[in-house]
Homo-oligomer: A and B are copies of this chain.
Amino acid sequence: MDLALDEARAAADRGEVPVGAVVADANGSVLARTGNRTLELRDPTAHAEILALRAAAAALGSERLIDCDLYVTLEPCAMCAGAISFARIRRLYFGAGDPKGGAVEHGPRFFSQPTCHHAPEIYGGIGETASSSLLRDFFAARR
């Protein structure tokens, strides 16, 4: 999660909402690490999780990331939760909860739906304080 927090800080420095994500394989080796780039790439899908999942899939040459884990500093939204499910992520570790846009513990609670065909093991609140501080400082500076 420390690497994901570094990526979130780097995203803030680029003017992006500070969210970072890392995909690691079963041995803990990092396959992909990146931050939110929706503005830079002018791509509404370029959340940290989506970019990290795509990069990890490219690295492995497979659309399924079997036995891989995702670390992300913020509770994933519905788009990212769906992608995590399609990618067959083994364990999801996330930092701060997101009552406004999260889809794991909030809103659609995607992984609890009967139409969700693969749910990872889920561990929330990892690095929550650091992640929340980053987001709070980022939005405070824009007001």
- The answer to whether A43 touches B39 (Cβ under 8 A) is no
Interface of A, secondary structure class, is loop
Question: Closest chain B residue to A77 by CB distance?
Answer: B82
Report the bound CA distance from A108 to B80 in whole Å: 14
Task: Provide the residues of chain B in CB contact with A116, threshold 8 Å.
Answer: 107
The 8 Å CB contact of A78, one of B62, B79, B88, is: B79
Count of chain copies: 2
Does residue A114 face the partner (Cβ distance < 8 Å to B)? yes
Does residue A129 face the partner (Cβ distance < 8 Å to B)? no
Interface residues of A in 8-46 (CB under 8 A from B): 38-39, 41-46
Task: Provide the residues of chain B in CB contact with A99, threshold 8 Å.
Answer: 115
Task: Provide the residues of chain B in CB contact with A38, threshold 8 Å.
Answer: 63, 86
Interface core residue of A58, A64, A108 (most chain B CB under 10 Å):
A108
- The answer to whether B78 touches A101 (Cβ under 8 A) is no
- The answer to whether B117 touches A113 (Cβ under 8 A) is no
- The answer to whether A63 touches B44 (Cβ under 8 A) is yes
Does residue A110 face the partner (Cβ distance < 8 Å to B)? yes
Interface residues of A in 59-118 (CB under 8 A from B): 61-65, 77-83, 86-88, 99-103, 106-110, 113-117
Does residue A4 face the partner (Cβ distance < 8 Å to B)? no
